[in-house]
Amino acid sequence: MPSFLPTVAEQLFKDIQKTYQEKTKSELQLRFVFGSCALQALDLVDQRSVTCVSSPSGRRAYQVIGGSGLLYTCYTSCHYCSCPAFAYTVLRRNESLLCKHILAAYLSQAMGLSQQEALSDQQMSSILSGRAARTDT
DSSP 119: -
* pLDDT tens by residue, 86-126: 999 999 998 888 999 999 999 999 999 999 999 999 999 99
Instruction: Give the mean pLDDT of 14-18.
Output: 88
What is the chain's mean pLDDT, rounded?
Answer: 88
pLDDT number for residue 36? 85
Side-chain-side CA neighbours of 4 within 13 Å: the count stands at 3
* pLDDT tens by residue, 49-73: 999 999 999 999 999 999 899 999 9
- The DSSP H or E segment spanning 132 is none
Confidence of residue 135 (pLDDT cuts 50, 70, 90): very low
User: Is-contact 63 135, C-beta < 8 A?
Assistant: yes
- Give me the torsion for CA of 6, 10, 11, 13, rounded to 10°: 140
Rounded to the nearest 10 degrees, the angle between the axes of helix 100-111 and helix 37-46 is 50
Q: Between these two residues, 21 and 50, which has the higher pLDDT value?
A: 50
String of DSSP letters for 22-65 = HHHHHHHHHHHHHTTHHHHHHHHHHTT-EEEEE-TTS-EEEEEE
The rounded distance, in Å, linking the Cα atoms of 109 and 102 is 11
Q: Between these two residues, 74 and 133, which has the higher pLDDT value?
A: 74
